[in-house]
Protein backbone atom coordinates (compact mmCIF):
# COMPACT_ATOMS: atom_id res chain seq x y z
CA UNK A 1 0.00 0.00 0.00
CA UNK A 2 1.42 3.40 -0.91
CA UNK A 3 1.00 6.65 1.04
CA UNK A 4 -1.89 7.81 -1.09
CA UNK A 5 -4.02 4.77 -0.28
CA UNK A 6 -3.76 5.49 3.43
CA UNK A 7 -5.18 9.00 3.18
CA UNK A 8 -8.34 9.27 5.33
CA UNK A 9 -10.70 9.60 2.40
CA UNK A 10 -9.41 6.38 0.82
CA UNK A 11 -9.78 4.19 3.91
CA UNK A 12 -13.25 2.66 4.31
CA UNK A 13 -13.95 2.40 8.04
CA UNK A 14 -15.10 -0.96 9.30
CA UNK A 15 -18.90 -1.23 9.65
CA UNK A 16 -20.49 -1.34 13.09
CA UNK A 17 -21.88 -4.84 13.60
CA UNK A 18 -23.21 -4.64 17.15
CA UNK A 19 -24.56 -1.97 19.52
CA UNK A 20 -25.56 -2.00 23.17
CA UNK A 21 -27.74 0.93 24.09
CA UNK A 22 -28.37 2.15 27.62
CA UNK A 23 -31.62 4.01 28.33
CA UNK A 24 -31.35 5.87 31.65
CA UNK A 25 -34.15 8.42 31.46
CA UNK A 26 -37.89 7.98 31.89
CA UNK A 27 -39.24 10.87 29.81
CA UNK A 28 -40.62 10.44 26.30
CA UNK A 29 -37.69 12.31 24.80
CA UNK A 30 -35.31 10.31 26.98
CA UNK A 31 -36.66 6.93 25.85
CA UNK A 32 -37.40 7.25 22.12
CA UNK A 33 -33.89 7.97 20.81
CA UNK A 34 -32.51 4.74 22.27
CA UNK A 35 -35.46 2.73 20.93
CA UNK A 36 -35.11 4.23 17.46
CA UNK A 37 -31.39 3.49 17.45
CA UNK A 38 -31.87 -0.11 18.59
CA UNK A 39 -34.60 -0.76 16.03
CA UNK A 40 -32.54 0.94 13.32
CA UNK A 41 -29.53 -1.18 14.19
CA UNK A 42 -31.55 -4.37 13.72
CA UNK A 43 -33.04 -3.04 10.49
CA UNK A 44 -29.48 -2.64 9.19
CA UNK A 45 -28.66 -6.17 10.21
CA UNK A 46 -26.59 -5.31 13.31
CA UNK A 47 -26.94 -7.04 16.67
CA UNK A 48 -28.56 -4.85 19.32
CA UNK A 49 -29.07 -4.97 23.08
CA UNK A 50 -31.05 -2.53 25.20
CA UNK A 51 -30.21 -2.01 28.87
CA UNK A 52 -32.73 -0.05 30.96
CA UNK A 53 -31.41 1.64 34.06
CA UNK A 54 -32.65 4.17 36.67
CA UNK A 55 -35.74 6.02 35.41
CA UNK A 56 -35.31 4.35 32.04
CA UNK A 57 -36.97 1.34 33.72
CA UNK A 58 -40.32 3.12 33.23
CA UNK A 59 -40.06 2.21 29.53
CA UNK A 60 -40.41 -1.50 30.41
CA UNK A 61 -42.57 -1.17 33.53
CA UNK A 62 -45.99 -2.82 33.03
CA UNK A 63 -47.94 -0.02 34.67
CA UNK A 64 -45.88 2.90 33.42
CA UNK A 65 -45.06 2.02 29.81
CA UNK A 66 -48.33 3.54 28.55
CA UNK A 67 -47.95 6.74 30.58
CA UNK A 68 -44.58 8.11 29.47
CA UNK A 69 -44.61 11.91 29.29
CA UNK A 70 -42.58 14.69 27.74
CA UNK A 71 -40.72 16.81 30.32
CA UNK A 72 -42.04 20.36 29.93
CA UNK A 73 -40.07 21.79 32.87
CA UNK A 74 -36.34 22.38 32.82
CA UNK A 75 -36.21 21.79 29.08
CA UNK A 76 -35.20 25.00 27.26
CA UNK A 77 -35.74 23.37 23.86
CA UNK A 78 -39.50 23.21 24.56
CA UNK A 79 -39.45 27.01 24.02
CA UNK A 80 -42.05 27.70 26.67
CA UNK A 81 -41.27 29.45 29.95
CA UNK A 82 -40.49 27.05 32.80
CA UNK A 83 -43.41 28.34 34.88
CA UNK A 84 -45.84 27.68 32.05
CA UNK A 85 -44.42 24.21 31.59
CA UNK A 86 -45.33 23.57 35.23
CA UNK A 87 -49.04 24.32 34.72
CA UNK A 88 -51.32 21.32 35.24
CA UNK A 89 -51.94 19.42 32.00
CA UNK A 90 -49.01 20.99 30.18
CA UNK A 91 -46.96 17.81 30.07
CA UNK A 92 -50.00 15.79 28.99
CA UNK A 93 -50.72 18.27 26.21
CA UNK A 94 -47.14 18.32 24.94
CA UNK A 95 -47.08 14.51 25.10
CA UNK A 96 -50.34 14.25 23.17
CA UNK A 97 -49.05 16.59 20.46
CA UNK A 98 -45.75 14.79 20.14
CA UNK A 99 -47.39 11.34 20.03
CA UNK A 100 -49.62 12.53 17.21
CA UNK A 101 -46.67 13.84 15.23
CA UNK A 102 -44.78 10.59 15.72
CA UNK A 103 -47.74 8.45 14.67
CA UNK A 104 -47.84 10.47 11.43
CA UNK A 105 -44.18 9.63 10.91
CA UNK A 106 -44.92 5.92 11.48
CA UNK A 107 -43.08 5.91 14.83
CA UNK A 108 -44.99 3.46 17.05
CA UNK A 109 -46.13 4.18 20.63
CA UNK A 110 -43.56 3.03 23.21
CA UNK A 111 -45.46 -0.15 24.16
CA UNK A 112 -45.73 -1.31 20.54
CA UNK A 113 -42.17 -0.21 19.85
CA UNK A 114 -40.82 -2.31 22.74
CA UNK A 115 -42.71 -5.38 21.43
CA UNK A 116 -41.49 -4.69 17.91
CA UNK A 117 -37.86 -4.33 18.98
CA UNK A 118 -38.04 -7.58 20.95
CA UNK A 119 -39.47 -9.26 17.83
CA UNK A 120 -36.51 -8.05 15.77
CA UNK A 121 -34.35 -10.25 18.00
CA UNK A 122 -32.78 -7.46 20.07
CA UNK A 123 -32.22 -8.30 23.74
CA UNK A 124 -34.00 -6.19 26.37
CA UNK A 125 -32.53 -6.14 29.88
CA UNK A 126 -33.22 -4.37 33.18
CA UNK A 127 -30.39 -3.11 35.39
CA UNK A 128 -30.21 -5.04 38.64
CA UNK A 129 -28.94 -2.15 40.80
CA UNK A 130 -31.86 0.05 39.70
CA UNK A 131 -34.41 -2.76 40.03
CA UNK A 132 -33.23 -3.35 43.62
CA UNK A 133 -33.15 0.36 44.39
CA UNK A 134 -36.75 0.87 43.26
CA UNK A 135 -37.85 -2.34 45.00
CA UNK A 136 -39.03 -3.98 41.74
CA UNK A 137 -39.11 -7.60 40.59
CA UNK A 138 -39.32 -9.27 37.18
CA UNK A 139 -43.12 -9.32 37.69
CA UNK A 140 -43.16 -5.54 37.27
CA UNK A 141 -41.84 -5.66 33.72
CA UNK A 142 -43.37 -6.33 30.33
CA UNK A 143 -42.77 -9.92 29.12
CA UNK A 144 -40.33 -8.75 26.41
CA UNK A 145 -37.66 -8.15 29.08
CA UNK A 146 -35.28 -11.11 28.89
CA UNK A 147 -33.58 -10.74 32.25
CA UNK A 148 -32.48 -8.53 35.12
CA UNK A 149 -28.70 -8.30 34.84
CA UNK A 150 -25.73 -6.73 36.62
CA UNK A 151 -23.43 -4.16 35.08
CA UNK A 152 -20.84 -6.91 34.67
CA UNK A 153 -23.31 -9.03 32.70
CA UNK A 154 -24.04 -5.98 30.56
CA UNK A 155 -20.39 -5.54 29.66
CA UNK A 156 -20.18 -9.23 28.78
CA UNK A 157 -23.20 -8.84 26.48
CA UNK A 158 -21.73 -5.68 24.96
CA UNK A 159 -18.37 -7.32 24.19
CA UNK A 160 -17.19 -6.74 20.64
CA UNK A 161 -19.64 -3.92 19.93
CA UNK A 162 -20.29 -0.25 20.54
CA UNK A 163 -21.92 1.09 23.71
CA UNK A 164 -24.31 4.04 23.49
CA UNK A 165 -25.54 5.82 26.62
CA UNK A 166 -28.75 7.81 26.43
CA UNK B 1 -23.08 3.36 -9.69
CA UNK B 2 -21.99 -0.02 -10.99
CA UNK B 3 -23.36 -2.36 -13.57
CA UNK B 4 -23.86 -6.07 -13.20
CA UNK B 5 -24.95 -8.67 -15.68
CA UNK B 6 -27.86 -10.76 -14.47
CA UNK B 7 -29.63 -13.25 -16.68
CA UNK B 8 -27.95 -11.76 -19.72
CA UNK B 9 -29.13 -8.21 -18.96
CA UNK B 10 -26.84 -5.40 -17.86
CA UNK B 11 -28.37 -3.97 -14.68
CA UNK B 12 -27.49 -0.60 -13.11
CA UNK B 13 -26.97 -0.78 -9.34
CA UNK B 14 -26.11 1.93 -6.83
CA UNK B 15 -23.18 1.75 -4.39
CA UNK B 16 -25.26 -0.28 -1.91
CA UNK B 17 -26.41 -2.76 -4.55
CA UNK B 18 -29.95 -1.38 -5.05
CA UNK B 19 -31.46 -1.15 -8.54
CA UNK B 20 -31.15 2.28 -10.16
CA UNK B 21 -34.01 1.43 -12.50
CA UNK B 22 -36.71 -0.80 -10.90
CA UNK B 23 -38.19 -1.56 -14.34
CA UNK B 24 -35.08 -3.65 -15.18
CA UNK B 25 -35.99 -6.15 -12.46
CA UNK B 26 -37.13 -9.71 -13.10
CA UNK B 27 -37.98 -12.50 -10.66
CA UNK B 28 -35.00 -14.51 -11.85
CA UNK B 29 -32.73 -11.63 -10.88
CA UNK B 30 -34.12 -11.72 -7.32
CA UNK B 31 -33.37 -15.43 -7.12
CA UNK B 32 -29.87 -14.82 -8.43
CA UNK B 33 -29.15 -11.97 -5.99
CA UNK B 34 -30.54 -13.99 -3.08
CA UNK B 35 -28.35 -16.95 -3.98
CA UNK B 36 -25.32 -14.65 -3.93
CA UNK B 37 -26.37 -13.68 -0.37
CA UNK B 38 -26.72 -17.35 0.56
CA UNK B 39 -30.53 -17.14 0.66
CA UNK B 40 -32.87 -19.67 -0.97
CA UNK B 41 -36.14 -17.88 -1.59
CA UNK B 42 -39.19 -19.63 -0.10
CA UNK B 43 -42.85 -18.73 -0.69
CA UNK B 44 -42.67 -16.56 2.44
CA UNK B 45 -39.68 -14.64 1.04
CA UNK B 46 -41.63 -14.06 -2.15
CA UNK B 47 -44.67 -12.92 -0.22
CA UNK B 48 -42.50 -10.16 1.29
CA UNK B 49 -40.67 -9.30 -1.95
CA UNK B 50 -43.91 -9.09 -3.93
CA UNK B 51 -45.48 -6.92 -1.21
CA UNK B 52 -42.44 -4.58 -1.26
CA UNK B 53 -42.70 -4.17 -5.01
CA UNK B 54 -46.45 -3.61 -4.96
CA UNK B 55 -46.11 -0.94 -2.25
CA UNK B 56 -43.32 0.76 -4.15
CA UNK B 57 -45.21 0.81 -7.44
CA UNK B 58 -48.30 2.20 -5.66
CA UNK B 59 -46.67 4.69 -3.31
CA UNK B 60 -43.29 5.44 -4.81
CA UNK B 61 -41.42 4.24 -1.74
CA UNK B 62 -40.87 0.87 -0.13
CA UNK B 63 -42.57 0.06 3.20
CA UNK B 64 -40.85 0.17 6.59
CA UNK B 65 -40.44 -2.94 8.75
CA UNK B 66 -43.41 -1.76 10.83
CA UNK B 67 -45.65 -1.63 7.76
CA UNK B 68 -44.30 -4.97 6.55
CA UNK B 69 -45.14 -6.52 9.92
CA UNK B 70 -48.69 -5.13 9.82
CA UNK B 71 -49.62 -5.52 6.18
CA UNK B 72 -47.50 -8.15 4.42
CA UNK B 73 -48.99 -11.06 6.32
CA UNK B 74 -45.55 -11.98 7.73
CA UNK B 75 -44.84 -11.08 11.39
CA UNK B 76 -41.82 -9.00 12.41
CA UNK B 77 -40.30 -11.99 14.18
CA UNK B 78 -40.60 -14.06 11.02
CA UNK B 79 -39.36 -11.21 8.82
CA UNK B 80 -36.09 -11.16 10.72
CA UNK B 81 -35.80 -14.95 10.42
CA UNK B 82 -36.34 -14.74 6.66
CA UNK B 83 -33.99 -11.79 6.16
CA UNK B 84 -31.44 -11.78 9.00
CA UNK B 85 -29.51 -8.84 7.53
CA UNK B 86 -32.54 -6.54 7.84
CA UNK B 87 -35.94 -7.35 6.28
CA UNK B 88 -36.89 -4.01 4.69
CA UNK B 89 -33.39 -3.37 3.37
CA UNK B 90 -32.74 -6.86 2.02
CA UNK B 91 -36.23 -7.40 0.60
CA UNK B 92 -36.11 -3.99 -1.13
CA UNK B 93 -32.78 -4.86 -2.73
CA UNK B 94 -34.09 -8.24 -3.89
CA UNK B 95 -37.32 -6.60 -5.13
CA UNK B 96 -35.31 -4.24 -7.29
CA UNK B 97 -36.61 -1.11 -5.59
CA UNK B 98 -34.74 1.70 -3.75
CA UNK B 99 -33.78 1.32 -0.10
CA UNK B 100 -36.76 2.46 2.02
CA UNK B 101 -36.17 5.89 3.54
CA UNK B 102 -37.03 6.67 7.12
CA UNK B 103 -35.73 5.75 10.54
CA UNK B 104 -38.26 3.15 11.67
Which tens digit of pLDDT belongs to each residue from A41-82? Answer: 999 999 999 999 999 999 999 999 999 999 888 888 888 888
Asked if A18 and A163 count as a contact pair (C-beta separation under 8 A), the reply is: no
Going A154 to A156 to A158 to A164, the CA torsion angle's sign is positive
- The minimum CA-CA distance between A82 and chain B, rounded to whole Å, is 31
The pLDDT score that the predictor gives to residue B3 is 84
Q: Is A73 left (phi over 0), alpha (psi -120 to 50) or beta?
A: beta
CA separation for the pair A110, A27 (Å, rounded): 11
- Check if B30 is active-site: no
CATH architecture of A18-72+109-165: 3-Layer(aba) Sandwich (3.40)
The pLDDT score that the predictor gives to residue A106 is 85
The pLDDT score that the predictor gives to residue A10 is 67
The pLDDT score that the predictor gives to residue A79 is 87
**What residue ranges of chain B have pLDDT lower than 70?**
none
Residue B104 to residue A36, Cβ atoms within 8 A:
yes
The pLDDT score that the predictor gives to residue A125 is 98
The pLDDT score that the predictor gives to residue A66 is 92
- The domain segmentation of chain A, as residue ranges, is 18-72+109-165
CA separation for the pair A44, B88 (Å, rounded): 9
Quick one: closest CA in A to B85, which residue? Answer: A45
Q: Give the closest residue to A118 by CA, choosing from A42, A63, A64, A46.
A: A42
**What residue ranges of chain A have pLDDT lower than 70?**
1-10
* CA trace torsion B99, B6, B40, A46 (10° rounding): -30
Q: Give the closest residue to A51 by CA, choosing from A111, A139, A122.
A: A122
Query: All domains of chain B, ordered by start, with CATH?
Result: 2-94 (1.10.10.370)
Amino acid sequence: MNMQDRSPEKVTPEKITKVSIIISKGSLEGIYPGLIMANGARAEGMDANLFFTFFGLDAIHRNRIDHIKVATVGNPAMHIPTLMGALPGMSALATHMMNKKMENLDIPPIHEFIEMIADTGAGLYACKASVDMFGLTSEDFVPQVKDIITVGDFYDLAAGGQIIFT
Amino acid sequence: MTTMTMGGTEVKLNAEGFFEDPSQWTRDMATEMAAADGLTLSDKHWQVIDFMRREFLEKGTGPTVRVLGKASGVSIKELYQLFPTGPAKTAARLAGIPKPKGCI
